[in-house]
Structure 1
Amino acid sequence: MNASDPGARGHWDQAYIQKGPAGVSWFEEVPTVSLDLIKALPGLKDSLIDVGGGASRLAAHALRLGFDHVAVLDLSAEAIARSRAAVGSDADRVEWIVSDVTIWKPGRRYDVWHDRAAFHFLTEEVDRAAYVARLDAALSDAGHAIIATFALDGPERCSGLPVRRYSPEALVETLGPRFRLVHGVRHEHRTPWGSTQAFQFSVLARAA
């Protein structure tokens, strides 16, 4: 299933209806690795977008970190609705975007682009190229991207779909010459049901 497949949204809506946000394998009550990497970023950090963040709790934490503008983008309206409910009274402080990232048109630029477990579902080159174009358009000149995918020894499939696994070096090569790798972090994620999945988190900046 390609990201642009009309059935993709229905697939993810059903996943969240059946499992709920906390029932998907990548769910974290506290996204510790992401938060640590965000806190360590240099320079001004006023705006953040969480791509594929429908099941994430990152938005609420980003508000507490002092970000003036926080956005969450997800293909699934069900995921967005449930995430919005989890944020509670601060939900109106977040920009909620229901869209396919490969066709989304950014309306502004962000200092931090965060993606935990969305990019690795893009198994077709055309979808990856479209994603990179949106990343390039949406990231501020001094901004940073944090992109997490399954590591090379991570699962080959997730939620019934094939994924593309990466090392930090392979990821930055895929993103192309507009970006450089700042550093990579390996993370052994414990799923809600206790199994372990190998992830890599890559921190990226614009190439000089």
Structure 2
Amino acid sequence: MTGERERHWRTVYTDKQPNAVSWYQPTPEQSLLALDRFGAEPGQSLIDIGGGASTLVDALLARGWGDVTVLDIAAPALAAAQARLGVASANVAWEVADITEWQPPRRYDVWHDRAVFHFLTTPEQRAAYVRALGEGLAADGLVIIATFALDGPEKCSGLAVERYDADRLAAKLGPGFTLAADWRDEHITPWGARQAFTWCVFSRTD
């Protein structure tokens, strides 16, 4: 299954420019809002799960973050981000990995995931994600996750997704994480379609 997922996303980023995919956003406004709201600071460490070619890493570097890791299953997505950043890419740790099989080498202060979790459609995949989260998040760490809302798309990039509200997402993460805030956002795709997202911030409590 991992091989199929890797081939799918590698093809997506090989066939399309980063700004031609539905999840593209010029500025990661909601992510930065969450970081600011909960006092995340440039001196902390952050990992962007499924960060791919996202511009979040650009914004973090511009803000002075010095310990940023971007993880994605598709090497071409990370290569696009590296090419865009140029020499600044040397200041970022890049991980090509499937989150459901990844073994965190360390712990991070902030775990950020915009739209990976909703692609995990089996209990086994979700359990593997929560395992990685538990191993990779600092004891007092912050979790920022965005998924399609209950009225959001049923598919993305040709793949089925799971849709969530805050209560359902909290139940999937389990008792080790406490919901600190949630809100709704409507993402506008490059071609003008609206996609409803649920954004949640959790604190670690175990």
* Fold-level similarity (TM above 0.5): yes
SS at match of 2:130: helix
CA deviations on 1:114-141 (whole Å, 9 max, x unpaired) are 0001110000100000000001111111
Q: Does 1:80 align with 2:78?
A: yes
Kindly provide the amino acid, as one letter, of the partner of residue 119 in structure 1: F
Find the partner of 1:204 among 181, 202, 205: 202
TM-score when normalising by structure 2 = 0.96
Which residue of the partner structure matches residue 47 of structure 2? 49
TM-score when normalising by structure 1 = 0.95
Which residue of the partner structure matches residue 180 of structure 2? 182
Judge conservation of contact 2:10–2:75 (CA < 8 Å) in 1.
yes
Which residue of the partner structure matches residue 111 of structure 1? 109
Root-mean-square deviation (Å) = 1.2
Matches within 5 A, 1:31-46: 31-42=28-39, 46=44
Give the gaps of 5 or more residues in structure 2: none
How many residue pairs get matched?
205
Judge conservation of contact 1:46–1:66 (CA < 8 Å) in 2.
no
Kindly provide the amino acid, as one letter, of the partner of residue 143 in structure 1: G
Judge conservation of contact 1:184–1:201 (CA < 8 Å) in 2.
yes
Moved over 3 A (4+): 42-45
**Aligned-partner Cα distance in 1 for 2:102–2:64:** 26
> Structure 1 vs Structure 2: percent identity of aligned residues?
48
**Aligned-partner Cα distance in 2 for 1:172–1:87:** 35
Which residue of the partner structure matches residue 153 of structure 2? 155
Which residue of the partner structure matches residue 6 of structure 1? 3
Which residue of the partner structure matches residue 69 of structure 1? 67
**Aligned-partner Cα distance in 2 for 1:19–1:12:** 11
SS at match of 1:153: coil
Kindly provide the amino acid, as one letter, of the partner of residue 39 in structure 1: D
Q: CA deviation at 1:43?
A: 6.2
**Aligned-partner Cα distance in 1 for 2:52–2:116:** 10
CA deviations on 1:85-121 (whole Å, 9 max, x unpaired) are 1222210000000000111111111111000011100
Find the partner of 1:23 among 20, 35, 39: 20
Give the gaps of 5 or more residues in structure 1: none
Q: CA deviation at 1:173?
A: 0.6
**Aligned-partner Cα distance in 2 for 1:43–1:77:** 28
Q: CA deviation at 1:26?
A: 0.7
CA deviations on 1:139-163 (whole Å, 9 max, x unpaired) are 1111101000000000000000000
Kindly provide the amino acid, as one letter, of the partner of residue 114 in structure 2: R
Which residue of the partner structure matches residue 192 of structure 1? 190
Q: CA deviation at 1:42?
A: 3.4
SS at match of 2:200: strand
SS at match of 1:96: strand
